[in-house]
Copies of this chain bind each other. A is one copy, B any other.
Amino acid sequence: VARSLRSGSTGNLGVVLGEHLTYAFDDPGAVSFLAGVAEVCAAAGYGMTILPISGAPEDAARVADAAVDGFIVWTTSDDDPVLTSVLATRRPAVVHGGPALDGAALVSIDNRSAARAVGAVVFAGARRPAVVSQPLTRDRVTSTSRGVPIEAASYPVTRHRLAGLREAAEAAGTDWSDVLVAVCSRNDADEAERVATALLASDDPPDAIAAMSDEQAVGVLRAARAAGLRIPQQLAVSGWDDLPAAAEFGLTTVAQSLREQGASCARVALGEAPVSMAEEWSLVVRGSTRG
């Protein structure tokens, strides 16, 4: 401890996992990201401090006081007060996913382009495209509505994906104001199953659903099975991330390596990588979509 004071460095990277620390470990994407961070930290002889975010106002102060040499912030919202704290420390900060900030590096794929690409496949030939979305804002309000105001989404990753999906829907001939968007409060198969069940039970059920994670897509598939729908003829479904579950269920999805992105974040935060650059993604087309 005294060594840290004297040397001015702590040998620790701080990882801020967004609003609810507890959820983070339940999200396989976040875990895979952490594995990437851990890998680089271990190799560099650095420790990795998970900064506890309970959602209370004192979180910001705690983060500011954390004994770490740099910060990695897991995907969060534009208005997350913790981001302000992190920047105020003037220590190296790397944001995963977004938001993009002056004074912080950004490690992310091009979510908008990826969403446009997966949307083109899942919405192909669909007359009633729909979206099962991750939260739009930090209050994690759930809703199901048409023509969601995209700019109101304060999670930039969600916002960019919606923007890409909008372009894809319009390219497929459906106006955004006709696209149903079901917003979930968590990234979780169970909740996605519930909202998808409701969507599919409506008078005018969707014939294509783009989900924002493989987890959610699995929930949608379960709802579709319960409703007796044939995939992809009656309902096309896409996921995101290409986790093992996507291969298992034959999901069309956007493949990205969150683990590699975690490693990139750590390298940038440690000054081992010069700048942040756009991360790679690719489209994986499987049997859950037409075409």
Interface set of A (CB-CB < 8 Å, partner B): 1-5, 10-12, 14, 21-22, 24-26, 31-32, 34-35, 38-39, 41-43, 45-54, 58, 62, 65-67
Contact = CB atoms under 8 A, between A and B. Distances in A.
A38 B52 contact: yes
A68 to B, nearest CB: 9
Contacts of A10: 1, 67
B47 A50 contact: yes
A58 B12 CA distance: 16
A50 B52 contact: no
A21 to B, nearest CB: 5
B65 A42 contact: no
Contacts of A50: 38, 41, 47-50
Copies of this chain present in the complex amount to 2
A49 B52 CA distance: 10
12 contacts: A1-B4, A4-B4, A10-B67, A22-B42, A25-B31, A38-B52, A42-B54, A45-B52, A46-B52, A47-B49, A49-B49, A50-B50
B65 A3 contact: yes
A47 B52 contact: yes
Nearest to A54: B42
Contacts of A45: 52, 58, 62
Contact of A42 (B31, B39, B52): B52
B48 A52 contact: yes
A13 to B, nearest CB: 10
A67 B49 CA distance: 10
With most chain B CB atoms within 10 A of its CB, the pick from A3, A45, A50 is A50
A64 B26 CA distance: 30
A49 to B, nearest CB: 5
B42 A12 contact: no
Contacts of A66: 47
A238 B24 CA distance: 30
